[in-house]
Amino acid sequence: MERTLKELKNGEKGLIVKVLGEKGPIKKRLMDMGVTRGAEVLVRKVAPLGDPIEVNIRGYELTLRKAEAQNIIIE
């Protein structure tokens, strides 16, 4: 079952399967921040309206918008 990072709730973990999108600036920025295949991601906080999402990836905290999180496929 394919899910996106946007669908995870507080405290849930997932393993990144792939990052969608063409080789544009957004995908490059995400990959530069460590959002790559095989990385484990833990959702730390979700804002009351769902945007932004704070995650822990590769030992540091990262804040993502819903639009960015929707491009990250997890298992």
4-47 pLDDT, tens digit each: 989 999 999 999 998 887 777 878 888 888 888 999 999 999 99
The pLDDT value given to residue 74: 93
Q: Model confidence at 50, in pLDDT bands (50, 70, 90)? A: confident
At 2, the pLDDT band (50, 70, 90 cuts) reads confident
Cβ within 8 Å of residue 39, ≥6 positions away: 15, 16, 57, 58
Structure tokens belonging to residue 11: 């405290």
Residue 17 CB neighbours (<10 A): 13
Per-residue confidence (pLDDT) for residue 15, from 0 to 100: 94
pTM above 0.85, yes or no: no
